[in-house]
Amino acid sequence: MIDAARDLIGASERIVAFSGAGLSAESGVPTFRDAETQGFWTNYDAAKLATPEGFANDPELVYKWYTDRRRNMAAVQPNPAHLSLARRRDIVNVTQNIDDLLHRAGAVRIIQLHGTLMTDRCLAECGYEEPVEMADPPGLRACPQCGALLRPAVVWFGEPLPFNAWREAEDLCASCDLMLVIGTAAEVYPAAGLIGLAKRAGAKIIVINPNPSQASALADIELVGKAGALMPDLMAV
């Protein structure tokens, strides 16, 4: 299987790597479905915390959740999957991940569909935003421009994706000839719809995941295993 996948990669010109939490799992960043098993946050539903309502109801609690995640991300390193993707400067990374591990691995073409934890922005959308030190994140505070609260620059459930990022991702996925689907359950929309878009546009789909997922049915090749273990071998041409 991996030989056939490597041949497909070798024969492709426009490759998109569509990734989810599984890409960063081996670095030590809990996946969304694992997040609920992590210490203090065991008793909280991630999909409820990651909503405008969750933040409105308890901004301190939600902001603390992101502060813990920022510290976790700062304390870990890119894994061999991030590094092997970064080495291929022709590959475009379209990711659902809000961490900075692809950036730290040296990847240059990265589209973050669900925002980033490297920045805070104004809740009232007055336009103000500022970078955040992930290793020493600030506490909940007011926007210096309009006084509203600052929130992580991530996309919460029920919120639209950043227009330009979504537009660019759609164009790339509709014109790629190969999509690597790495470490995602492919259950969150509209992001998961990009796999079907690429497939309908004629692209070959290679799925990398130790478990079956919603992407399995669209796979031309499904490599059952961990990204950190499989990607370096797969990308070695």
Residue selected from 11, 56, 135, 146 as contacting Zn ion according to rule CB under 5 A: 146
Site for Zn ion contains 145 (CB under 5 A): yes
Catalytic annotation on 82?
A: no
Segment 38 to 77, residues that bind ligand BV8, using CB under 6 A: 50
**Total binding residues for ligand BV8 by CB under 6 A?**
34
Of 70, 82, 114, 151, catalytic: 114
Task: Kindly state the smallest distance separating residue 136's Cβ from ligand BV8, in Å.
Answer: 20
Task: Kindly state the smallest distance separating residue 88's Cβ from ligand BV8, in Å.
Answer: 18
Segment 114 to 143, residues that bind Zn ion, using CB under 5 A: 122, 124, 126, 128, 143
Separation between Cα atoms, residue 23 and residue 182, nearest integer Å: 6
What is the per-residue burial (b if ≥16 Cβ within 10 Å, else e) of 90-113? ebbbbbbbbbbbbbbbebebbbbb
Separation between Cα atoms, residue 35 and residue 38, nearest integer Å: 5
Separation between Cα atoms, residue 179 and residue 14, nearest integer Å: 9
Separation between Cα atoms, residue 137 and residue 67, nearest integer Å: 6
Site string for ligand BV8, 110-139 (x = CB under 6 A): ----x-------------------------
Residue selected from 8, 18, 26, 120 as contacting ligand BV8 according to rule CB under 6 A: 26
Residue selected from 6, 36, 148, 157 as contacting ligand BV8 according to rule CB under 6 A: 157
Q: What is the binding site for ligand BV8 (CB under 6 A)?
A: 20-22, 25-26, 31-33, 50, 96, 98, 114, 154-160, 183-185, 187-189, 191, 208-211, 213, 226-228
Q: What is the binding site for Zn ion (CB under 5 A)?
A: 122, 124, 126, 128, 143, 145-146, 148
